[in-house]
A and B are shown apart, each in its own frame.
Chain A
Amino acid sequence: MLLRLISWPYFRRHVLRTLLTTAGIVLGVAVFVGMHTANQTVLYAFNSTVDRIAGKTELQVTAAETGFDEEILETLQGAEPVRVAVPVIEAVVSTARAGQGNLLILGTDLTGDRSLRDYDLDEGDEAIIDDPLVFLAQPDSIIVTREFADRNGLEANSPLTLGTALGPRTFTVRGIMRSSGLTSAFAGNLAIMDVYAAQKMFGRGRTFDRIDLGIKPGTALAAAQADLRQLLGPGFQIEPPSSRGQQFEAMTAAYSMMVSISSLFALFIGMFIIYNSFAIAVTQRRSEIGILRALGATRRQIRGLFLLESAVTGLVGSIVGVLFGLAIARGIASSIGQLISDVYGVAQRTDEVATTPWLLGLALVIGVVTSIVAALIPARQAASVDPVHALQKGKYQLLSERESRTRLIAAIVLAIGAAVCLLAPTIRPVFYLGFGMAMVAALLLGPLLSLGLSRALRPMLKWLRPVEGALAADSLIQAPRRTSASVAALMLSLALVTAFAGMARASYDSIIDWMDGALNPDLFVTPSQDIVIRTLRFPDGMGEELAQVPGIALVQKVRNARISFRGGPVMLVATDIESIAKTSPRPAVEGDPRQMYEQTAAGTGLMISDNLARLHGIHAGDRLELQAPHGVISAPVVGVVVDFTDQQGTVLIDRDLYRRYWRDDTVNIFRVYLTQDADVPTVRQLILDRFAQDRQIFVFTNRELKGYILRVTDQWFGLTSIQMAVAVLVAILGIVNSLTVSITDRRRELGVLKAVGALRGQIRRTIWMEAIGVGVLGLVLGFGLGAINLYYILEMVERDIAGLRLNYVFPLTVTLALVPTMLASAFVAAIWPAEAAVRGSLVEALEYE
């Protein structure tokens, strides 16, 4: 009842402010929903592809990403729990068709595979398609999906040219699968071919990527897993297909965490807008509250009324935010999908937005709770309004001595707490508790600092414009609550931007340092245009042929692949360690720089990246076990080096050791050093002339490869910049909101000014200067908090996200660029409120109250 009689008319009278207040929640929730839905969409697309391709597969045997000897198939086919064992090779190849992107090739043995996957064919000569013999006999045979065929105008027996390890090859479409679960995998860009033909086409030698298993009826999955683990040894993972999704999640955990952090920041910033709006509403409506109290309304009822208003605001904002978030999720998902493909080399395609009711429900709850929490203090203050003092105006915006003291004490206690937490930085909860305490301390100090800074700003503003400057500064000083909420929103958003910008700067610096040392060959020869895609590989012998090309002084072979280490994915880099020690030794974080290379080259030790060391708490001297298909490598860590190859960490071993334990001599990348007198473009052309006829080959110059890595880094930070932009937008909304409130609140004061002869220009400039004042306060406090936030974010990156030790460098360039941006934004935000103040009726203004 009170909501309808009291609140609704108030909202109707202040439509703009209500919209601005709600917009804070809308944006916060939209960012939360948009980013998480996009993240889920990408994960769903990956899982969906895995599920659909898996068909009735109950268990999958893999050796992480490395693949394994095809002999394992026979072992599994003879194993007691196995009903059917089907070898699989997956490869992502270029279709070379405009707008069609990559095609996921599933190489399988159709003879047994029909009992795991249903190739429901609707076109082609069934007698041929249905006959695996033709399929096996003709290595150019391929089955595509109806979706892909329609998109590309393909029919039975159409030629289809695809990029393979042997260069572009023309395949023959021998079947088209009807639309079904399988065909929607990888957004329909899926094709089936014979696994043995795939081995040849994609340079896999005699290996398979995995073996899909059907288990005999009546055999428990766990029992079958245990039996097969016993049979194959620890170098193999025997898991249900769904576990690949978990690996994917583990791989992209760093990104998900960044998404969560910035989403929460956006909501936090939104919270201050709501706080501000409600704080002002309490001020404006205190006479109303006083009347209600005089009529017998209890404090509890008043508090309940404001909390209910905030809940409704939160709910409406959340609903709109959810819808808005879903609308932007597809675009974000596409960017994230591309990013994950480029950064992690994991192919997936997002074609439909996937979300879950719990996420949307959570978003609504977070929106409402944020709103309620933001309104708690104003509601408590509303409840404490004394009917006698309700007729007094203006004083309410002041901070009482007692409150200031309490805030200061609480802030000091929390700051000390945060500092104490830093003394035990290795304990994760303590670290995050410290982070939280530091942020809360900063927020508690915000109003006091705002007040202090406003006072400090007054002479300067007055010097600029004696009348307007003094009025603007006084407005900031006299209403610290109103000012501080806007300043807090701005401070938080700038703290977020500063921290992310600092992290980006530090990452760039570190990556560039690492690239200069580690990636110093003149040329890099790869079988795929996307360096991170490792499904195409070169044969070992090509290295020797490459070394014969005139102008080449040295060739180093690199085989890298993700392996399973302590239940998660890490990157294994197998290369010519002795040669690397001479050409591009990595800086040692731990271990003797000379001995570590000698021992690793001899196969008696391993080197690891410092991020792996940090993420797993490993130190030089610790013994690691790497489980390979042909045994377990148990060797001490002889060196910890700086390496940015992978976010989950890198293990460096000698190529001989890899060949012995994985029985794989293929190569991902050749690192090529030229003779002193050689010309890079000439040698590059010689390499292409020599090999391009026989295989797909790409030759990158040093500059191109580094450019590629920096582009991917840009992509990574590009996505976070969207969130930062939203954070800044929310903060600007806060300024608009604050000024709108300020104008309304000061209508009488402004009216008096006009009545005593103030010019319109003076009124305008007063409002503008007040806005710029808020901007200056936000900038100063935001950069201050940003400096603290950057420290914590870098610590989080090191501890929990990527294990990377990044140097603390305050992002001066970005912050300097933010100064005019934010001041201009504050000014723009003030234009409308200033005009409203100027054009308002003098009579109405004087009658206000």
Chain B
Amino acid sequence: MIGEVTTMRDSRRAQHWRGILALSFVVLSGAPAMRAAEDARQIVAEAQRRSEAASQRYEGWLQVFDAKGRVSDKRWILVRLGSHGSSKMVLRFTEPPEVKGVALLVINHPDRASDQWMWTPAIERDRRIALQDRSTRFFGTDFSFEDLEERDVDQYDYTRLGEEPLDGDLCWKIQSVPKRTKSSQYTKSIVWLRKNNYTFARIDNFVKDEVVRRATYSDVAEIQGIWTARRVEMADLRRGSRTRLTLDKLQYSLPMKEEDFTLQAIRRP
């Protein structure tokens, strides 16, 4: 779903860390409206078009609130070179100490699934990562791997359900249903897309007729000309837990070098 907010890339086989890349694209989802697209598909496609940037860097703060009220945090620094299908990304965890130094390299391809590697400094080795069960939780958060994957706009059928105010913003309310060729844990999703800046406000994900996960996008600001939701919160309604991702020190179009996005590079501390 976050992918919808961001790139809408072709992603038939989603991969773990592609989702994190998708998270970075959250910030690209709020470009100013140039023309009002009345058609539901056109609205979603327009949101994707406005999310392009040559590079990106931010410090992410992930907070998991479990059903008993306990909170666990993780922080990382994310750098991304390029945009959408041809991008490369390195994510390096900084906190907590147990995961400090763990780095992830994601190489996206326009025509196939991304390649991903993880570097674990404690045993000094990298490993290739493949997503094998997209409905499972993304490393203890309330996002599933599928929530984090980039999606192709053509893999869904859209229906415009009308317009509705949400948290003070008037939104398009659109239903997306995976096409038969698209395997998904969800039966359907209902998205609220802000009319004023083409950023998503909320996504309800359904299994049959029950909402199982709800993503809420807030703290929207224009950064270097790109409207960005700086806070994404995903609630698992069955577990009673939620995960909040906060983007800090977000910058676009910084100068970056290709050689910093290699396996050799992530092995460097």
Binding site for B on A (CB under 8 A): 73-74, 77, 83-86, 111-112, 114-115, 125-128, 130-134, 136-139, 196-197, 200
Partner of A137, one of B70, B99, B128, B133: B99
Docked CA distance A73–B102 (Å): 22
B64→A127 contact, CB < 8 A: yes
With contacts A77-B130, A127-B140 taken as known, whether A137 is within 8 angstroms of B64 at the C-beta atoms is: no
Contact A77 B132 (CB under 8 A): yes
**Given contacts A131-B140, A132-B139, are A83 and B132 in contact (CB under 8 A)?**
yes
- In the complex with contacts A127-B140, A131-B140, A196-B120 CB distance below 8 A: yes
Chain B residues with Cβ below 8 Å from A127 are 64, 66, 70, 72, 140
Could you jot down 11 A-B contacts, CB within 8 Å?
Answer: A73-B128, A74-B130, A83-B132, A111-B129, A114-B136, A115-B133, A127-B66, A130-B140, A131-B139, A133-B74, A133-B102
Contact between A128 and B120, CB atoms less than 8 A apart: no
In angstroms, how far is the closest chain A Cβ from the Cβ of B246? 17
Name A197's closest neighbour in chain B (CB-CB). Answer: B123
B123 pairs with A196, CB closer than 8 A: yes
Interface pair A84/B66, CB less than 8 Å apart: no
Q: How far apart sit A131 and B125, CA to CA, in the bound complex (Å)?
A: 19
Which residues of chain B have C-beta atoms less than 8 A from A77's C-beta? 130, 132
| Nearest-Cβ distance from residue B157 to partner chain A, whole angstroms | 23
Report how far A647 CA is from B125 CA in the complex, Å. Answer: 40
Residues of chain B in range 51-93 having any CB-CB distance to chain A below 8 Å: 64, 66, 70, 72, 74, 93
> Which residues of A are found within 8 Å of B101, using beta-carbon distances?
137
Complex CA–CA separation, A133 to B139 (angstroms): 6
Known contacts A132-B139, A196-B120; decide if A112 and B132 are in contact (CB<8 Å): yes
In the complex, the answer to whether A128 meets B72 with C-beta atoms within 8 Å is yes
- With both beta carbons as reference points, the residue of chain A lying nearest to B100 in the complex is identified as A137
In the assembled complex, B188 has its CB within 8 A of some CB on chain A? no
**A135, B131: Cα distance in complex, Å:** 17
Interface residues of B in 107-146 (CB under 8 A from A): 118, 120-123, 125, 127-133, 136-137, 139-141
Please measure, in the bound complex, the distance between the C-alpha atom of A127 and the C-alpha atom of B142, giving whole angstroms: 11
Q: Is the CB of A128 within 8 A of B66?
A: no
Question: Are B136 and A133 in contact, with the CB atoms below 8 A?
Answer: no
The answer to whether A115 and B140 have CB atoms under 8 Å apart is no
Which A residues lie within 8 Å of B140 (CB)? 126-128, 130-134
Q: Tell me if B50 counts as interface (CB < 8 A to partner A).
A: no
- Do B132 and A137 have beta carbons less than 8 Å apart? no
Task: Tell me the bound Cα distance from A221 to B139 in angstroms.
Answer: 31
Nearest-neighbor residue (CB-CB) of A132 within chain B: B139
User: Chain A residues near B120 (CB, 8 Å)?
Assistant: 136-137, 139, 196
**Known pairs A83-B132, A136-B120 / 5 extra A-B pairs, C-beta < 8 Å:** A73-B128, A84-B132, A133-B74, A134-B98, A197-B123
Report the Cα distance A138→B64, complex, angstroms.
Answer: 20
The answer to whether B66 touches A126, judged by C-beta atoms less than 8 angstroms apart, is yes
Contact yes or no, A115 B132, CB < 8 A: yes
Interface size on B, residues (CB 8 A): 29
Q: Which 8 A-B pairs have the closest CB atoms?
A: A131-B140, A112-B132, A127-B72, A115-B133, A84-B132, A130-B140, A137-B99, A133-B139
Q: Indicate if the CB atoms of A196 and B127 lie closer than 8 Å.
A: yes
Cα(A138)–Cα(B120), bound, Å: 8
Closest chain B residue to A109, Cβ basis? B127
Question: For A111, what are the chain B residues with a Cβ–Cβ distance below 8 Å?
Answer: 16, 129, 132
Contacts of A74 in B (CB 8 A): 128, 130
B55 to chain A, nearest CB (A): 25
For A141, give the chain B residue with the smallest CB separation: B98
Q: A131-B140, A133-B99 are in contact. Are A139 and B132 (CB under 8 A)?
A: no
Most central of B64, B74, B101, B132 by chain A CB within 10 Å: B132
| CA A126 to CA B64, docked complex, whole Å | 11
Chain B residues near A200: list those with CB within 8 A. Answer: 123, 125
A85 touches B72 (CB 8 A): no
In the complex, what distance in Å separates the CA atom of A132 from the CA atom of B129?
12
The distance in angstroms between the C-alpha atoms of A112 and B139, with both chains bound, is: 11
In contact, B118 and A136 (Cβ under 8 angstroms): yes
B98: chain A residues within 8 A (beta carbon): 128, 134, 137-138
Closest to B65 in A: A127
| A474, chain B: closest CB distance, angstroms | 86
- A contact residues around B66 at 8 Å (CB): 126-127
Give the complex CA separation of A436 and B167 in angstroms: 92
Residue of A74, A86, A136, A139 contacting most chain B CB atoms (<10 Å)? A136
Q: How far is the CA of A56 from the CA of B99 in the complex (A)?
A: 30
B267 CB, nearest partner CB in chain A, Å = 15
Q: Using Cβ atoms and an 8 Å threshold, which residues of chain B touch A138?
A: 98, 122
Contact with A along B198-222 (1 / 0, CB 8 A): 0000000000000000000000000
Residues B133 and A136 in contact, CB atoms below 8 Å apart: no
User: How far is B127's CA from A200's CA once the two chains are assembled, in angstroms?
Assistant: 13
Does B99 lie within 8 Å of A134, measured CB to CB? yes
The residues of B that contact A84 with a CB separation of less than 8 Å are 132-133
A133 to B129: give the CA distance in the assembly, Å.
12
Query: Please, how many angstroms separate the alpha-carbon atoms of A114 and B101 in the complex?
Result: 25
A588 to B231, CA, bound (A): 77
Q: Which of B16, B74, B120 has the most CB of A within 10 A?
A: B120
A125 to B73, CA, bound (A): 12
Tell me the complex Cα distance, A77–B64, Å: 30
- Least Cβ distance of A203 to chain B in Å? 13
> Which B-chain residue is minimally distant from A84 (CB atoms)?
B132
Q: Kindly report which residue of chain B lies nearest to residue A77, judged by CB atoms.
A: B130
Let me know if B130 and A112 touch, CB within 8 A.
yes
Smallest CB gap from B13: residue in A: A78
Report the bound CA distance from A157 to B128 in whole Å: 28
Which residues of chain B have C-beta atoms less than 8 A from A126's C-beta? Answer: 66, 140
- Which residues of B are found within 8 Å of A115, using beta-carbon distances? 132-133, 136
In the complex, chain B residues whose CB is within 8 Å of the CB of A112: 130-133
Q: Which of chain A's residues have a CB closer than 8 A to the CB of B128?
A: 73-74
Interface centre among A85, A138, A197 (most CB of B within 10 A): A138
Query: How far, in whole Å, are A83 and B118 apart by their CA atoms in the complex?
Result: 22
- Please, which residues of chain A bring their CB within 8 A of the CB of B130? 74, 77, 112
In the bound complex, CA of A111 to CA of B145 (Å): 11
Which residues of the other chain, A, contact B127 by a CB distance below 8 angstroms?
196
**Cα distance A239–B139 when bound, in Å?**
31
* Whole-angstrom CA separation of A138 from B74 in the bound complex: 15
Q: Say which residue of B72, B102, B131, B137 sits within 8 Å of A136 (CB atoms).
A: B102
**Residues of A contacting B118 with CB < 8 Å?**
136
Of the residues B64, B125, B131, B132, contact of A196 by C-beta under 8 Å:
B125
A138 CB to closest chain B CB (Å) equals 5
Q: Which residue of B lies closest to A174 (CB)?
A: B98
Complex interface residues of chain B between 9 and 68 (CB less than 8 A to chain A): 16, 64, 66
Q: Whole-angstrom distance from the CB of B116 to the nearest CB of chain A?
A: 11
Least CB distance, B93 to chain A, in whole angstroms: 8
Q: Quick one: closest B residue to A200, CB to CB?
A: B123
| CB of A128, distance to nearest CB on chain B (Å) | 7
A114:B133 contact, CB within 8 angstroms:
yes
Task: Tell me the complex Cα distance, A156–B121, Å.
Answer: 24
Instruction: Say how far A107's CB is from chain B's closest CB, in angstroms.
Output: 12
B141: chain A residues within 8 A (beta carbon): 131
Interchain CB contact under 8 A, A137 and B139: no
Contact of A139 among B123, B129, B139 (CB under 8 A): B123
CA distance A126 to B120 in the complex (A): 21
Smallest beta-carbon distance A76→chain B, Å: 10
CB of B121 to closest CB in A, whole Å: 8
Q: Which residue of A lies closest to B104 (CB)?
A: A133
Q: Which residue of A lies closest to B101 (CB)?
A: A137
A206 to chain B, nearest CB (A): 8
Which residues of A are found within 8 Å of B123, using beta-carbon distances? 139, 196-197, 200
A409 to chain B, nearest CB (A): 75
Interface residues of B in 156-173 (CB under 8 A from A): none
Closest A residue, CB atoms, query B126: A196
Contact with B137, one of A73, A128, A130 (Cβ below 8 angstroms): A130
Interchain CA distance A436-B4 in the complex, whole Å:
79
Expressed in whole angstroms, the Cα–Cα distance for A137 and B118 within the complex equals 10
Question: In the complex, which residues of chain B have a beta carbon less than 8 angstroms from the beta carbon of A114?
Answer: 133, 136
Instruction: List the B side residues contacting A197 at CB < 8 Å.
Output: 123
